[in-house]
Amino acid sequence: MRYKRSSALFAEAQKFIPGGVNSPVRAFKAVGGDPIFVKEAKGAYLYDEDGNRLIDYIASWGPLILGHAYEPVINAVIEKAKKGTSFGMPTEIETQLAELAVSMVPNIDKIRFVNSGTEACMSAVRLARGYTGKDKVIKFAGCYHGHSDSFLIQAGSGAVTFGTPNSPGVTQGTARDTLLAKYNNLESVKSLAVANKGEIAAVIIEPIAGNMGCIIPEESFIKGLRELCTQEGILLIFDEVMTGFRLAKGGAQEVLGIDADIVTFGKVIGGGLPVGAFAARDEIMGYLAPDGPVYQAGTLSGNPLAMSAGLAMLTELNKNPNVFRSLADKTAYLGAGLAKVLSENNIPFQKNRFGSMMSIHFTDEPVVDFESAVKGNNDKFKKYFHGMLREGVYLPPSAFESYFLNDALTYEDLDATIAALSNIVDDLK
Ligand code: PMP
């Protein structure tokens, strides 16, 4: 494979865009080398600026669950664009997407659309604070809820990849209102609840974590969290930006059998266009402007192109919920195949998978939280990433990210990916 043109485009981009990218993990800093510039994509494949074809395991970091350039989505956007791209006035399609999302997800009455997962989580916390009249929020080390100030405290994803889980620019005052607990450790939450009794508005969690690699919540932990929040009058916010419309129609609430108080969405709900959303029961959503006092707004919120992509995407998933099973099966198959190659070659690793979320950490200790996730061997990860890339497989360029499979992937693609690992596994010894 040659990456001449990608490298030239990256050099040019660096002149005008900080680090050459508009979102840090794209720059390949964690794995080294120049990022690949994509030209187009179709189904399971990316085609880069040098003419290479790559099997894609990122799918735009999750949204493209049915593959790239999925026709019903593309056609819906094209038709909508012909009628105008933005009005800043209500449109019928917003209600159509809202009604469909509310029918698919348990335990929500109303949903508000925003433009990103970051906005969704930021607004959800403001709503929780407004509703409860309390200021503090508990988050878990290694969870990522977007880049708004109150969440850049021991954050996962790019923040940890770049060694800045606590970003400069977040004030001490903001940081003080964010309390930090350990994933899969209910005691750590309980002691914060005791020490800050009556002051905590919300606990926000990735119900299946995907931003320190994939980490699965223990049943007693997630159930205990729900009970604790109910007892203490704390709102439980499920950040379903990754899990929503990916694990099941009803997301993690459905698969875990747990009702959250507020749920946030992003990625799949926008079908590849910029959409985020947050949703809850009427009682809580009634606090939001214009009905209630908690302010939240957006010039492009509910944008018709974004809504049309989201509506086409959710309509497909609603019609064909077998997709979730199919994706989970493919992920299990891939995971088992990769694990077999690594085990046969005596390479220490942990494979965590839940549905169609998966990650591989190069460590021999179970990865159950942030502390165990950062113990992974990054040198091995780099070799793994670049080896697979040479073989035409595009994996997440950091161990702190989940793979996102899309349903356009065939079993031949998965076999080719497993074969690619066999070809490069000697580099990992
Ligand atoms: N929450 C979670 C769980 C996420 O994974 C992400 C992004 N990866 C966000 C929030 C932020 O979403 P966005 O990048 O759309 O702002």
Query: Which of 297, 319, 341 is where one domain is finished?
Result: 319
Q: What's phi and psi for 277, nearest 5 deg?
A: -160, 155
Position 228, amino acid = L
| HEC-encoded secondary structure of 171-221 | CHHHHHCEEEECCCCHHHHHHHHHHCCCCEEEEEECCCECCCCCECCCHHH
Looking up residue 160, the CATH number of its domain turns out to be: 3.40.640.10
Instruction: Kindly state whether residues 189 and 331 are assigned to the same domain.
Output: no
Q: For a pocket test of ligand 1, which of 139, 149, 211, 268 has the largest count of ligand atoms closer than 8 A to its C-beta?
A: 211
Closest residue by Cα to residue 401 from 41, 21, 31: 31
* Residues composing the chain: 429
pTM for the model stands at 0.97
Measured from the Cα of 276, ligand 1's closest atom is: 15
**Rounded-to-integer distance, Cα 212 and Cα 205, Å:** 13
Measured from the Cα of 121, ligand 1's closest atom is: 10
Q: For a pocket test of ligand 1, which of 144, 148, 206, 359 has the largest count of ligand atoms closer than 8 A to its C-beta?
A: 144
Instruction: Kindly state whether residues 56 and 87 are assigned to the same domain.
Output: no
Q: For a pocket test of ligand 1, which of 139, 140, 242 has the largest count of ligand atoms closer than 8 A to its C-beta?
A: 242
63 lines ligand 1 (CB under 6 A): no
Quickly tell me which residue has 């894609």 as its tokens: 56
Instruction: Kindly state whether residues 372 and 315 are assigned to the same domain.
Output: no
266 lines ligand 1 (CB under 6 A): yes
Instruction: Kindly state whether residues 212 and 128 are assigned to the same domain.
Output: yes
Q: Which two tokens stand for residue 307?
A: 């809504």
Instruction: Kindly state whether residues 97 and 64 are assigned to the same domain.
Output: no
Q: Which domain holds residue 25?
A: 4-69+322-428
Which residue is catalytic, options 239, 261, 369, 407?
Answer: 239
146 lines ligand 1 (CB under 6 A): yes
Closest residue by Cα to residue 244 from 218, 262, 230: 262
Question: 3-state class of 311 per DSSP?
Answer: helix
For 282, half-sphere exposure in the C-beta direction (CA atoms, 13 angstrom radius) is 0
Is 183 designated active site? Answer: no
Which residue is catalytic, options 29, 134, 267, 351?
Answer: 267
Residues with Cβ within 8 Å of 74's Cβ and at least 6 positions away in sequence, in order, are none
Is 330 designated active site? Answer: no
Domain count, the chain: 2
What does the pLDDT profile of the chain (429 residues) look like in tens digits? 789 999 999 999 999 999 999 999 999 988 999 999 999 999 999 999 999 999 999 999 999 999 999 999 999 999 999 999 999 999 999 999 999 999 999 999 999 999 999 999 999 999 999 999 999 999 999 999 999 999 988 777 766 666 666 788 888 888 889 999 999 999 999 999 999 999 999 999 999 999 999 999 999 999 999 999 999 999 999 999 999 999 999 999 999 999 999 999 999 999 999 999 999 999 999 999 999 999 999 999 999 999 999 999 999 999 999 999 999 999 999 999 999 999 999 999 999 999 999 999 999 999 999 999 999 999 999 999 999 999 999 999 999 999 999 999 999 999 999 999 999 999 999
Query: Which of 319, 353, 372 is where one domain is finished?
Result: 319
ipTM of the complex: 0.99
Question: 3-state class of 42 per DSSP?
Answer: strand
Looking up residue 62, the CATH number of its domain turns out to be: 3.90.1150.10
Residue bearing the CA closest to ligand 1, atom 10? 145
- Ligand 1 midpoint to CA 118 (Å): 6
Question: 3-state class of 345 per DSSP?
Answer: coil
Is 239 designated active site? Answer: yes
Instruction: Kindly state whether residues 148 and 290 are assigned to the same domain.
Output: yes
Instruction: Kindly state whether residues 82 and 139 are assigned to the same domain.
Output: yes
